[in-house]
Structure formats: C-alpha cells, structure tokens
Structure 1
Amino acid sequence: MKRMESLIALMVCILLAVTACSSGGKNNPAGSGGSGGSSNTSSNASADNTPAPSGDPVTIRTVIKDVSASNPLYAQYFDALEAALLEHEGLNVQFELVELPQGNYAENLNLLLLGGDIPDLIYFQGGDQPIAEQGLLEDLRPYIENSKYLKNIMMEHNIKRIESYPYLLWIKPVTPKVPVVRADWLSGLATGEALMDNPTPDNYYAFFKELVDSGKAKYGITVAGDLAEINFIFNEAFGVTSTWLKKDDGTYEYSLVSQAEKNKLEFYNKLYKEGLFDNEYMTKQWDTKEDAFYKGDAGVIVGTAGKVIDLYEARMKELHGDSAGLVVLPPAKGVSQGFGATDVTKESRGFAISAVSEHKDVVFRILDFLASPEGQTLDRLGFEGQHYNVVDGKAVLTDAFFSEWIASFWEPIELNTTIPVEGALLGATAQESLEMPTKYFKEDNNFAIPEEHVATWDALTNLYKEYAADFITGKKPISDFQKFVDAWYANGGKEITEYANDLLN
C-alpha cells in the first residue's frame, strides 16, 4: 500500500512538471518530460494542431513494443506512412520511434513514463491503468465519434471496451491465444489422435508425456513468464469459466480462490514435476519461448490466433521443411470447453494518446487514416514488389508477406483496401486459429476495479502469483491452497468480493 501511495504521489508530481514545463520534441534529452513537437515545430501547425503540408514536419514521438528504427522494415514502414499521410491527409509529420531496453515491455514502458518522458502515441501491453488514473491518457471517445473511418471499422467488442475504458484502442478480431504443435510430430505420436478427438486434461497429459518420452521434445509445453498462456488451454476444462464463478447459493466467488483453480494448479504441478511443463517457464520471454519451440525443446507453445500463427508456421517450415507445418490444438475439455471468456471491460493492449501531448488531434488523425482504404493498404498488405505484386489488377501476396509482414495497427474483419487481394491474407492454419475460438465465444462477467480498490487488487494479484508459482514448483504443497484463500480474503479480497456480489446481482 505504501509503495502504491508513493507511486501515485510521484505520478502527480510528474504530471504537474510535464504540464508546466514540457518543451517537447526531439530537442529534449531523454527523460526530460517532453512529448511531441518542439515549440518551433508547433508554429507550423494550424489552430487545431494540424501541421501545414509545407515547412518543418511536426514530430510525433511514438513507442511501440518491438518497433525500432534500427529495423529496416519498420524504418521503411514509417517512412511510407509519413509519405501517405502527406499525400492523402495533408499531414506533414515525422515519427520519432522511442527505444526501450530489452526485457519486460510493460515494466520498461512504465519506467519511461514515470521518468517524465511521455511520447505522443503510446502502445500499451499492460500497465496502462495506473497511468490512466493519473489523467495522463486522453479519452478517445469524442475523437472516435468525429472520426472519418475508425468508427466504421470498430467491432462490437471494441465498442463495448472503449465505452467502459476510453483510453486504449485495439481494433482486431477477438483473438485468444491457441496452442500449436508441429504437424509431423502430432501425426507421429500414438496419443495424437486421441487428443484431437477428445482433448481432456488426461489426454493432454498423455500427449505431453509421449512428446518427451519419444525424444521429440525436452518438455511438452512452455509459456512466456506466467500462467496466462497455458490457462487459455485448461481454464474451462477445470471449471474456471469466468472471472467470477456463481456458487450453488447464488453468490459469486473470485475464480482464483475456487476449488476449480486448486484442481487446475494441482494438474500444472503434476506436469511440472514430471518435466512436461518447462521448469524454466517463469524466466521465459516471448522470444525465448518461440526459440524453444523452433529448436524443438518445447513440443507445444501458445500464440495469438491469426497472423502470429502464420509467422510461427512460416518460420518452422523454413527451419524444418514443409512437413513441419503447424496444427492448432483444441482447448481442453472437461467441466466446460473453450479458450476462455472474453473480457469486454477494456482492451488488454492497444494504442493510447498522451493527454499532455501538444498534438493530440494530429495523433488521432494518424490513427484514423490507418483505418482508411489507403492506410489499410499499407498496414495490411505491406510494400508492393516486396510483400505483394499487382497482377491483373489484384494484389498477389508473396512468400515474404506470410513470413514477415504483420499489421502494426488495425485489422478489422472486413478488408477494405484500394486494391482487391487475390486469395486470403492468412494461411489455412492461421485461419483455423481464428475460426476455432468463435464457436466457444462468450463474454466474461468481470468488471473494472474501482479506483479505491486498485491498490488492494494489485496486491492480491501478486499474492496469487506468488502462491501459484510455489504450488506449481512444489515449494508449497497444494494442501496449503486454503491458506492462500484465507490470506486473499484477509488482505482485501472480502471487501472486493462483497462489491462484486452487489454489482453482479
């Protein structure tokens, strides 16, 4: 609690300092508190901060996970985006890509923001709520209402999320994470057919065990740092079907203190003890997780449905041949089946506009342009002659498109580009990864935690993570689960559960 109060106090000081003193733009040293365009640059802007199409461009400082100017593909992309904005929107802008250190993106981003360096356009993948609560992120609803293109491509879940939490925008289909395995490995194992026909936790266990016993993989599955990815497979099978579970007496309990969660953690402990669950999963990052899969250390990994699965498959085939294409595994089947309930309270990741940016209108016009046919052509298809060729008036996608190109911004279900596309944007496996979850789709019953409970909720989340890791690794016996439950309720869980029951009932 004291740490959170200190953090809030620090953030308030930062906001005051940035608002009063920011000079912005590239002329600021790192961490000086500027955001977007120097005073000289902003003199070229009109009254609504729209830069004139002549003169010095307005600098839009941008931070996005894994996007660096040192990567030639991204350098080419943002050069092309600058040119397209000037041609189609009359926006004379220059992107400055802010670099973050290697490691946990959410943590490093918060360190940047807490240091007073707040870019104009910010991609979050966690850690955004404390920043929003300090008033540092712009409410996007009035911008969307007046947009040319964005409001027309938003899907139902986007609309619900932006109404509930108006600071993050992430226009993509509902894409849970799905498990994949090499096709040649699946077909070569006796347990593979049983898993596909009846994917119970027991059949998953048998499949992981044969993967390891056969010498094909060192361990059955790995994940990136926590349980979020493996939970997409097993939550529903063990009865963790929503954030708040309804009990027989009609009241609700938090799923992570339920008997269903205990049963699931006991299963994970079994996998861990037998070496079927990567014993180094807590230190894995996304890149080391993927590397373990490509090298054959991990038999199964979990990736975001859609384009990410295309990239995984292209890389696996490049390394091991066409027979090493991927197969999407079904979610485990038990109490229920599915890849988990969908949160509609907020986007879990997405783009935000700095509330202290001098160029908020310009930043949103960039986001709006990326929803236009011209913007979608660049963002979804890449570069002509590299990622597609125009043949008989249609865009024919190249191998490079499937192996390296992924949209940086919006991916609405309906493709609206300036040129029709021959064939599909996704390979068969990636397309299946999108279609399979749709038959299991359902909304979660979670809700935004009230501000007065946020610090408590964060502490309770950390408490769960500590206990869960100890249960899985065997540092604590699963028989101690009730001690965790008691501690969870005693440290604020009782009050939040009472709030949840008032709200849900």
Structure 2
Amino acid sequence: MKKVALVSLISIFIAITVLSGCSSNNTSENTSKVENTATNDASTNQTKTNDTAVTNETTTEQGVPEKYDPPIEMTTVGVNYPTVKFSEGESRTDNVWTRAYLDKFGIKLNYKWVVDDTQLEQKTNLMLSTGEIPDFMNVTDIQFKQLYDAGLIEDLTDVYEKYASESVKRMMTAGGPIAMDSAKFNGRLMGIPYTMSNKEVADVIFIRQDWMDKLGLPAPKSMQDVLAISEAFTTKDPDGNGKADTFGLAADKGMTMLNGFINGYHAYRDLWIKDSTGNLVYSDIQPEMRAALQALQGMYKSKQLDQEFSVKEFAKVSESLAASKVGILYYPPYGGSYPLQSVRDNNPSSDWTAYPLPSIDSTPAAPQVGASTNGYWVVKKGYEHPEAILKIMDFWIKTFYENKSREVMEKYVTTPDGNTPWLLSAIFSYEGFFNVDVQQDIKAVIEGSKKFDDINPIAQDTYTKVMNFVERKDEKFWGFDEVYGLHGARAITKEVYLANNLFTENQFYSTATQTMGVKMATLQKMRDVAFTKIITGAPIEEFDQFVESWNKSGGEQITKEVNDWYKSK
C-alpha cells in the first residue's frame, strides 16, 4: 500500500480536523498537504440523535439484503495509529466500527495483520509475493497492476454499477473522471479508487496585507503586480526596522513552495499535460518553464528570494515566515492556519490576505493539483460477496461526511478529549471539496442565509472558532478566520477555481512505463540541479541544454511510452 496511511489517512483531517489548528509536513506539494485539527465541543445547539440515523440512510441495494443473515466474514489488513485510544477490551477487530459492520450489515470483519505505518509497504509486498491476500485491501498503483496481471483481484464493473449507492458514486466522481478511469484495465473496473481531495488544496497566494497597506500597494491582479509587490517588500523596509532584511517571496529547497508562482506562467512541475496537438508532454521541459525560471532568476539576483533557499527545507522557511522576514507565500488555503498562525502569534499586528493565483497574461492561472487517488480498494478474486465492500464504503461516507448528529460524530469520528476513532474505519475515501463546503456553510451562517442548526457538527465547531476571533478577538483563532471565515482562503477554491474549472491535473495516471521505472528518478534529479543552478544565476541557456539532455537520457523514450498508453486509453 502506498503508505495508505499516515500521509493519506491523516490527510483526511482535511475533512474533519478543521477544528484545532493546521500542520503540514515539510513540503508544500499538493499530494501530501495535511491539516491537523481536532474537534471541540464548543457548540451546544446541535440536536442529538442516536446513530441509527446513519443506518437508516444506508441504501438497500437490489438483490442484496440490508443485513446479511447469517453474517458473512471478511478479512483485511490495517495500520496502527498512535492517536487512537481503545476502551478497555477493545481492539482493532473489536471497536465501534467493526461492531457497526456486524450489527448493521451482518459483516464480521477480521484483520489478518496490523502494523505500524513504517512497516506497511514492506509487509504488504511480502504478502503479495505469496499470492495469499485478504478478502479486500488497499493497494498502491504498482501493486494494483501486479495483482491484476496475476489474476488475483475481482472484476468490480458489474458489482459497482448494480450495488454502489448514490453517495459512493458521487464521491468517486466529485473530483472529475480521472479517479475512476485510473481504476480500469481494458475498460473493466478492477478496484474502487481511494479518492483524494486534491483540488481543494490547490495553491493560493498569501500576501502580508499590513505591509501592502503601509507601502500603499494595490491587490495583485497579474504576475506583474506580484513582481512589483515582491520588489517593494524587499527594498522598501516594510517592517520599518531600518534594515534590508526582508524577502519578497518564500522559497524552499525542493521548490514546491514555488509551484503556485510557476503556475502563474502556465508552467507546471512534474506533470504530463496536453500540447496543442493533443499529445502528452512533460511539463518541466516546456518553454513556459523557461520563462518562469528566468523570472525567478531575476528575483534571486535582486535578493527577493532568500539567498540560501536552495539549502532550506520547509521548516526553515517557516521560521523565516514566523520571524516576519517574508511577505509572499504560495500555499494551499489551509496555510492561513499553518504556517501563518505562527506569524500572527509572534507579531499580532501582522495580517495576511489570500488571493487567486495571478497570471502573466490574459489567460487565468490554473493551479496544478496532485494525484486524484491514493491507491485502490481491491477485492480478492472469487470472494463470494464483493458488493460488501460498497456497503462499508457507503457507511464511511454517511457516517463521516453526511452525518449531522453530534452524538454520531463523537462516537465514530472524533471525541471532545481528542480521540480519533475515525481511523478505525476499514475503508477510506476523501470527499473532493468537504472543507470548501464547510467554509461556504460558515459564510452562509454569517450572512444569514443558513441557520447554525442546519450545518453539520464539524462546520458548527469551525464556525465557533471563527467567531472566537471575529467577535471575541481571541488571537489563537485568527488562522481559522483566515481559512474558513467570510472571506477565508477556501472561498477562492469554490468561487474562482471550481467555478471556472481552473485546475491542471496530471494526464498520465497509469503505473510507471518501462523506461520511466528505470530512468525517471535520475531525470528528476537532473531537473532539480538544473533549475536550482538557473535560479541562482546560471545562464538561462542552461535550460535549453537541460531539455536536450533530458530527452537524450531517456525522456524522449518515456514520452513515446506515455503517449502509447494515452492513445490506448
């Protein structure tokens, strides 16, 4: 499994943990952005109902009983999570989720093994090598292909069409068609995608509003405006300390914090995109990337970038932000909580505003987004009840996403004392725009078009935190207002990106081609070295040399293989 887990399972906190702060790993890359939150019980207006409400909403599928009688048995494998606290007598096989599967659906779930996240991939690969797999499990794209080639997994095409609930079908397609397309071999659905909320973490641009106000700078409407703001933040002493110690733009060693800037030039990092002829080309070798690098080179030369950015990981850049040394940050919308809450903590007079990505020309910028899946849920070939996986998936969606009962939330999802029973669900999949919807619900309550009681408990708790800042001026909740408030950063995703379909996705979503598997890592390292050299002062012609070397060193063959796959699709 592709680390099914801590990166991706914790990512689901993007959906629920909107509630006590945000954290991230050391990169701004969209495929691994994490919001770390925990529900509070500040809201007291939610009417309690028992958890049978969740059961009553579950679809009874034609030809399959609501509850198997006698119960059926299913096996799977799983991961241990340190944030889960078991009550006395409970275990991974006996907990609120497994009891619900048995009581509500007649599904007795057993785990063949459970390991720590660090051991997961090795343990799974060892199991696959024996050919003995559980009745269902989550696998990476590579493992998915291996299992398909070995004939070990069930064709779910007809099962899905006949038995998947509307909730499941809606989740599988909420982010677009790529997730479902990627789960097919020769037109047959061989797994259920583990969907990701990749689009709702598309980058926005955060800018120090207090610095803009001090220097009399207007809101950015173009990349030219961003460049002017960056120059002013570097040269006009926005912090007023009389020293030339501020930088315009945040940048990190891996250059992932520059993705949004590069996207403003219609350039993208590490994606396969369509060219004007309809073929797929590698984004990093396109002319638009040359222009973006040349702009960054000029910014570096004029010290608008930290002169040591090429050796600084995300954590070090965050320290510069917290110390009020940087004024522009390209980051996902949750950046208003992390890392920008730390700026506010250290300097209460600081303020930031989020904007959509500005463009270099009249064509709107379309931010790049990460993978739409984190693997696939597969069923063992020959298992008698493959439709049961869809019942478990439907229960997950209704309990985690569609539930409006605080009692259900605290039983299955997250508790006031910080326990996280949602991690005990046997199946996960992420709603494409859940956090965006939370922000829109909060906006509706503030504007009066919705009542507090009409939004779900997660949105209620987040609303309460926003109001803790807006009405009670509690500074520790500033970040919640920045992300989820009336003009929160998440509104940009809904009102600009989603409304205009401004997302750039990787058009290659298969397993690695033969040459890609052998040479891509070397080519990516070549790219990173070349890009860093160019930004820090090498002649821009080195980009042309990099493109030539990339093609000769395997890139040209990889491009052919990618397009062969694309045409076959």
Question: How far apart are the structure 1 equivalents of 2:235 and 2:412?
Answer: 42
Which amino acid letter does the alignment assign opposite residue 455 of structure 2?
V
The corresponding residue for 2:8 is: none
- Equivalent residue for 1:338? 365
Shift, 1:452, TM fit: 8.1
Alignment of 1:369-380 (within 5 A): 369-372=395-398, 376-377=402-403
In structure 1, the partner of 2:430 is 410
After superposition, what is the alpha-carbon deviation per residue over 1:360-387, rounded to whole angstroms, capped at 9, x for unaligned? Answer: 7665543231122576328999844999
Q: Secondary structure at the match of 1:327?
A: strand
Q: How does 1:307-326 map to 2 (within 5 A)?
A: 308-309=334-335, 311-312=337-338, 315-316=341-342, 319=345, 326=352
- How many Å apart are 1:481 and its aligned residue? 1.6
> 5 Å matches for 1:13-412?
60-63=76-79, 69-72=81-84, 79-93=95-109, 98-101=115-118, 110-111=121-122, 113-114=124-125, 116=127, 121-122=137-138, 128-135=140-147, 141=157, 144-145=160-161, 146-148=163-165, 149-155=167-173, 157-166=175-184, 167=191, 168-170=193-195, 172=197, 174-181=199-206, 185-190=210-215, 192-195=217-220, 200-203=225-228, 205-206=230-231, 209=234, 214=239, 219-222=247-250, 226-238=254-266, 243-244=272-273, 246=275, 254-272=282-300, 274=303, 276-277=305-306, 279-280=308-309, 284=313, 293-294=321-322, 296=324, 299-305=327-333, 308-309=334-335, 311-312=337-338, 315-316=341-342, 319=345, 326-335=352-361, 336-340=363-367, 347-353=371-377, 364-372=390-398, 376-377=402-403, 383-384=409-410, 409-411=429-431
Q: Secondary structure at the match of 1:237?
A: coil
Structure 2: 5+ residue runs without aligned partners?
1-63, 185-190, 439-452, 463-483
**Stretch of structure 1 that moved more, 75-84 or 258-267:** 75-84
Count of matched residue pairs? 422
Write the distance in 1 (CA, Å) between the matches of 2:328 and 2:351.
13
Q: 1:381 & 1:410 partners in 2: Cα distance?
A: 22
Aligned residue type for 2:305: L
On the 8 A contact 1:268/1:277 being kept in 2, the answer is no
Q: In the TM superposition, what is the alpha-carbon distance from 1:470 to its structure 2 partner?
A: 3.6
Question: Are the aligned partners of 2:247 and 2:327 in contact in 1 as well (CA < 8 Å)?
Answer: yes
* CA shift for structure 1 position 334: 0.8
Matched position secondary structure for 1:332: coil
Distance 2:160 2:229 in 1: 44
Q: TM-score scaled by structure 2? A: 0.56
Offset, 1:472: 2.1
Cα gap change, 1:439 to 1:427, in 2 (>3 Å): same
1:481 corresponds in structure 2 to 543
Contact kept in structure 1, 2:206 and 2:331, CA below 8 Å? no
- 3-state SS of paired residue (2:364): coil
TM-aligned CA distance change 1:183 to 1:84, over 3 Å = farther
Change (3 A) 1:388 1:329: same
Flag structure 1 segments of 5+ consecutive residues without an equivalent.
1-47, 102-107, 390-397
Contact preservation (8 Å) 1:369, 1:375? no
Aligned residue type for 1:88: K
Q: Which residue number corresponds to residue 493 of structure 2? A: 434
What is the TM-score of this pair, normalised by structure 1?
Answer: 0.61
Q: Is the 8 A contact 2:207 2:354 kept in 1?
A: no
Q: Which has the higher contact order (CA 8 A, sep 6+)?
A: 2
**Contact 2:198-2:369 within 8 A present in 1 as well:** no
Secondary structure of the structure 1 residue equivalent to 2:117? coil
Is 1:421 matched with 2:455? Answer: yes
